[in-house]
Structure 1
Amino acid sequence: MDKTQNPNNNEMVIDLVDLAKALWRRAWAIVLVMVIFGGAAFGYARFLVTPLYQASAMMYVNNSSINVGSTQVDLNDLTAAQSLVETYIVILKTRGTLEQVIEEENLPYDYETLSGMIEAGAVNSTEVFEIQVTSADPEEAERIANCVAEILPDRIAEIVEGSSVKIVDYAIVPSQKSSPSISRYTLLGLLLGAVVSCGIIVLLYLFDDQIRDEEYVRQTFDLPLLAAIPDLTGKNSGSSYYYSKKTSGKEATP
């Protein structure tokens, strides 16, 4: 059974089984479009997208209220140290801090550009936070991350009394790019190709009003079938012309 037309309210009823068959008959086209889209996405990610590298330095928040060598640490002290992480990250991203980094490293960036290259956040809700710098140059990413880590303690000492940060781990030159992910781009291309090809096939199915057999006439027009005349012209081998009649005298043509 194909698409059917309800004569009372002109609503179209779609046979999902028949639609699935239409998709299956054109499975080769779906696969072809997926390969084309996937290949295009692969080529775009591989040759056109600028690869980015990420370098990371780690720092520890030192709360002066915690006595050095003490075997007991108050929970409030740990909570205070963790809350200081967010404060220090804000100081890290201030114009004064980043402009000092730009000056020391002689960077060709303004404050807004450099700020967009730097991210920072606590590690697993601890007093340790990580500074991540993303750049198209892996050596530049390492230099900026370490420069920020070295400048930040003095900046914090100037602003926040009684607290400081220490460098836990310096950044190293990254050997692997952080983006783009070629496999992810390719997968998205394959999925997009599948969606586009299936969408086109569904539209062709919905707008196809070709009469194929007696059942199509009965289901679509709800008319009694009077006769079927075989097509003997040779152009459409095996096809027929179907005629049906209502009281008004209208005919359904092939």
Structure 2
Amino acid sequence: MSELKQLEMQKDDEMEIDLGEIFHLLMNKLWIIVLCFIIGATLAFGGTKLLITPKYSASSMIYILTKTTSVTSLADIQMGTQLTADFEILATSRPVLEEVIEKLNLDYTYEELKSMIQTDNQTDTRILRFTVLDANAKEAKKIANELADVTAERVAYVMSSDKPKVVEEAVVPKYPSSPNTKKNTAMGGLAFAFVAATVIVLRYLMNDTIQTEEDIKKYLGLHMLAAIPTEKRESI
């Protein structure tokens, strides 16, 4: 039983030694990993700036009403909350988006415009938010505001009630919302560094050649009695 424990302890020691060697190996090759990180970060930064078109997002919001009266009951609030989810779908319906395209004279198809729009309704609210993503900041603002107005008219028509109020109009965004240059740069650098570290470790693990006296003792359990030095002769 004691021999079994001794073997297990020996295996644990070997594992610790191996992990320690891998750590020291990575430290010795740290310059390669850092160099790969810099290369990856540079490529990711350049690719993000040169190959990806910046997109701007603009948002507008409308407040959904269910009744024209000033007194709102709990049932009305619940009804409005439930209907808001329906109006999310209505906002991106073909009649609404085609009207937006016609009013703004946009060079988009219904499918293209729909892919640029995101609707959002926060839980337990009757506020519907429209977010438009476009390469043109001014156009993103125009589409978001027009979409809010057309959707409000459509809701009033469907519900046979007053037109919902626009509680927030979109403004021209100053900065692009995508791509995230910092994130892409960091991810590119980390990816290259990880690949470099993986290659270094794999080459170490696959190298089973005996190189030092310690390797002979460690892997073969033998003690070296003597060593034959090699002498390099100079060419005449």
> How does the TM-score come out when normalised to structure 2?
0.85
Alpha-carbon distance between aligned partners in 1 of 2:172 and 2:155, rounded to the nearest angstrom: 26
Matched residue of 1:197: which SS? helix
1:61 matches 2:64: yes
Q: Deviations over 1:161-212 (max 9, x none)?
A: 4475221121111111111111111111121122111111111111223322
Q: Structure 2 counterpart of 1:169, which letter?
A: E
Instruction: Find the counterpart in structure 1 of residue 128 from structure 2.
Output: 129
Cα shift at 1:115: 0.4
Partner letter of residue 60 of structure 2? Answer: A
Structure having greater relative contact order (Cα 8 Å, sep ≥ 6): 2
Partner Cα separation in structure 2 for residue 211 and residue 234 of structure 1:
25
Contact 2:66 2:159 in 1 (8 A): no
Q: Tell me by how many angstroms 1:120 deviates.
A: 0.9
Task: List alignment gaps of at least 5 residues for structure 1.
Answer: 1-11, 236-254
Count of equivalent residues: 220
Counterpart of 1:22 (choices 25, 29, 47) is 25
Matches within 5 A, 1:1-254: 15-64=18-67, 67-68=69-70, 70=71, 73-123=72-122, 125-162=124-161, 164-223=163-222, 225=224, 227-233=226-232
Structure 1's 125 and 195: CA in aligned 2 closer, same or farther, altered over 3 A? farther
The residue identity in structure 2 corresponding to 1:85 is T
Amino acid at match of 2:203: L
State the match for 1:6 in structure 2: none
Structure 2, unaligned stretches of length 5 or more?
A: 1-13
**Cα drift, residue 104 of structure 1:** 1.6
Tell me the CA shift for residue 226 of structure 1. 5.1
The TM-score normalised by the length of structure 1 is 0.79
Q: Secondary structure at the match of 1:175?
A: coil
Distance in 2, Cα, partners of 1:229 & 1:163: 99
Distance 1:125 1:115 in 2: 25
Determine helix, strand or coil for the equivalent of 2:165.
strand
The CA distance in 1 between the partners of 2:230 and 2:151, in whole Å, is 87
1:42-101 deviations in Å (ceiling 9; x for gaps): 111223210000111110011207x41x4xx43332222111211111101111111111
Distance 1:203 1:162, change over 3 A: same
Q: How far did residue 223 of structure 1 move?
A: 4.6
Q: Secondary structure at the match of 1:16?
A: helix
Q: State, as a whole percentage, how many aligned pairs show the same letter.
A: 35
Asked if the contact 1:218/1:224 (under 8 Å) is kept, the reply is yes
SS of the residue corresponding to residue 164 of structure 2 reads strand
Check whether the contact 2:62–2:152 (CA below 8 A) recurs between aligned residues: no
The 1-side partners of 2:233 and 2:84 are apart by 82
- Quick check: which one's strand share is greater? 1
Q: Deviations over 1:124-175 (max 9, x none)?
A: 6421121110000111111111111111122123323447522112111111
Give 1:123 shift. Answer: 3.8
1:248 corresponding residue in structure 2: none
Higher helix share: 2
Other structure's SS at 1:119 match: strand
